């Protein structure tokens, strides 16, 4: 019987659905209002430019080797200095599949952890690992990362890192107390135009960056109602929360251009959501108006718009829409005093350098001089390895940083600040778009933290 057989699909659904229901319930029960929140005071708070000891061979344990998890496993098998020692998933067949990939690559057989939804705790406690990597449903990101760090391992998680403000603080506090990295794997920071835009910003071509626009606008109706993969858990969040549930793909790249946590910081937001219609209409049209799917109730507004202001007065427009018919975009607009760069479509205007006044130029005009050196160095190695190569680059950079003992491109403070938009947007929407303060997870260190540099391979 193969992993794609009908019995296995049903078994996967039952196991994953049970785990997701319990996990989402736990996550939502901890969702607390943001008003009056005060940062904890602990030793070493707001660590600056954190580095850990170099690790020549990074020994990794994976939690969740389905869609994105399996992609990361395959990427890491093509990166030097990596040993995949352990694999954990609620579906044994997925672990067996990943084990075969590792063995076929000429590496030792990884240990298997398949004894239920919390078997990652046993893996973190017993395995001799340097890094625990999770690509699970959202509600498990924080539990896995906390277990890893408390057991002396660095942590890496798929996006978003956390779904509540309390959990954002838990990641920061634990990273500080244990002296371990906790990176959110935001792959969109490593896409070509995003990297080139950052290089343009660092080279001063756009002038002072004053404003940015970003988002995640992706028709996921079919995915959410699927009987496998993300369809087993993602739709449930739309029944519980109303805000921006997936902010970091768009926000991460522009936050780096604005030096968030490294010279500036998020100050407060205002958020509002449209009515909820898309999932209901899709379910009725696809499964029938009297189907169980059509009778489900959703609170997530189809389009969430969030305005963000930074401590230095810079502004960001952030949009989320995964419930309506539309082509994909992350927007990715960066406006400076000397020019503007945008993706979808790719276009740029630099005053004094444009071919025509008030007319867009093609990004390719600037590629020869301003292509990011990291993209130039290793993009070819990432071809065919996920999302146009950016998945491979993000995995490569994580391993490179750990092996060299360098600060990470995205640290725990970035994970917390970018992910905090989930809870903050929901809180603002619930209170008539009231302004909501974003905590300073760095506790003032953003004022002296150096900006992210232009790294290379």
Q: What is the pLDDT of residue 445?
A: 96
The CA-based dihedral angle spanning residues 354, 358, 359, 365, taken in that order and rounded to the nearest 10 degrees = 20
Confidence class for position 8, pLDDT limits 50, 70, 90:
very low
pLDDT in tens, 258-312: 999 999 999 999 999 999 999 999 999 999 999 999 999 999 999 999 999 999 9
Q: What is the pLDDT of residue 339?
A: 98
The CA-based dihedral angle spanning residues 260, 266, 267, 272, taken in that order and rounded to the nearest 10 degrees = 150
Rounded Cα gap, residues 439 and 173, in angstroms:
13
What's this model's pTM, rounded to 2 decimal places?
0.91
Distances (CA, A) of 20 to 29, 211, 256, 268, 301: 14, 38, 32, 31, 22
The fold for domain 51-184 equals Rossmann fold (3.40.50)
CATH of region 189-373+406-447, choose from 1.20.120.530, 3.20.19.10, 3.40.50.720, 3.30.360.10: 3.30.360.10
pLDDT in tens, 357-416: 999 999 999 999 999 999 999 988 877 776 778 999 999 999 999 999 999 999 999 999
For residue 345, say if its preceding peptide bond is cis, omega within 30 degrees of 0: yes
| CA nearest neighbour of 401 among 135, 58, 72, 171 | 58
Provide the 3-class DSSP secondary structure of residue 102.
Answer: helix
Provide the residue ranges of all domains of the chain, joining segments of one domain with +: 51-184, 189-373+406-447
Q: What is the pLDDT of residue 15?
A: 43
pLDDT in tens, 179-189: 999 999 999 99
| CA nearest neighbour of 257 among 317, 319, 195 | 195
Q: Which helix (H) or strand (E) holds 132?
A: strand 131-134
> Is the separation of the CB atoms in 156 and 398 below 8 Å?
yes
Q: What is the DSSP secondary structure assignment for residue 340, as one 8-state letter?
A: E
For residue 295, say if its preceding peptide bond is cis, omega within 30 degrees of 0: no
């Amino acid at each position: 019987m193969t992993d794609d057989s009908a019995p296995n699909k049903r078994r996967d659904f039952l196991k994953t659905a049970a785990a997701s229901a319990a996990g989402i319930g736990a996550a939502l029960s901890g969702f607390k209002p943001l008003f009056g929140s005060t940062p904890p005071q602990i030793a070493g708070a707001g660590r600056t430019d954190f580095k850990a000891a170099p690790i020549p061979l990074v020994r990794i344990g994976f939690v969740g080797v389905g869609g994105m998890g399996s992609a990361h496993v395959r990427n890491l098998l093509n990166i030097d200095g990596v040993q995949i020692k352990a694999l954990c998933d609620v579906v044994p067949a997925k672990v067996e599949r990943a084990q075969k990939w590792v063995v076929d690559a000429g590496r030792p057989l990884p240990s298997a952890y398949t004894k239920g939804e919390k078997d990652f705790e046993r893996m973190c406690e017993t395995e001799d690992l340097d890094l625990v990597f999770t690509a699970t449903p959202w509600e498990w990101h924080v539990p896995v990362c906390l277990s890893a760090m408390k057991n002396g391992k660095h942590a890496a998680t798929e996006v978003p890192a956390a779904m509540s403000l309390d959990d954002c603080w838990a990641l920061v506090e634990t990273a500080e107390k244990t002296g371990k990295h906790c990176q959110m794997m935001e792959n969109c920071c490593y896409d070509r135009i995003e990297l080139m835009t950052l290089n343009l910003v660092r080279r001063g071509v756009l002038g002072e960056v004053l404003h940015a626009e970003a988002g995640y606008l992706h028709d996921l109706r079919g995915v959410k109602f699927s009987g496998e993969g993300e369809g087993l858990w993602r739709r449930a969040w739309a029944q519980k929360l109303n805000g921006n549930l997936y902010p970091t793909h768009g926000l991460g790249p522009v936050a780096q251009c604005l030096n968030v946590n490294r010279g500036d910081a998020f100050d407060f937001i205002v958020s509002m959501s449209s009515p909820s219609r898309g999932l209901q209409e899709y379910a009725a049209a696809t499964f029938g108006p009297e189907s169980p799917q059509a009778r489900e109730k959703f609170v997530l507004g189809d389009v969430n718009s969030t305005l963000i202001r930074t401590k230095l007065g810079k502004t960001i427009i952030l949009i989320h829409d995964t419930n309506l018919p539309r082509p994909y975009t992350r927007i990715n607009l960066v406006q400076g005093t000397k020019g503007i760069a945008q993706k979808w479509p790719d276009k740029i205007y630099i005053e004094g350098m444009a071919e025509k006044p008030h007319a867009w130029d093609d990004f390719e005009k600037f590629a020869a001089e301003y292509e990011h050196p990291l993209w130039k160095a290793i993009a070819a190695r990432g071809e065919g390895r996920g999302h146009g190569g950016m998945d491979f680059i993000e995995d490569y950079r994580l391993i490179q940083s750990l092996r060299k003992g360098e600060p990470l491109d995205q640290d725990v403070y970035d994970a917390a600040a970018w992910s905090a938009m989930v809870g903050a947007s929901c809180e603002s929407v619930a209170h008539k778009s009231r302004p909501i303060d974003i905590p300073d997870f760095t506790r003032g260190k953003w004022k002296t933290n150096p900006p992210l540099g232009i790294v290379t391979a």
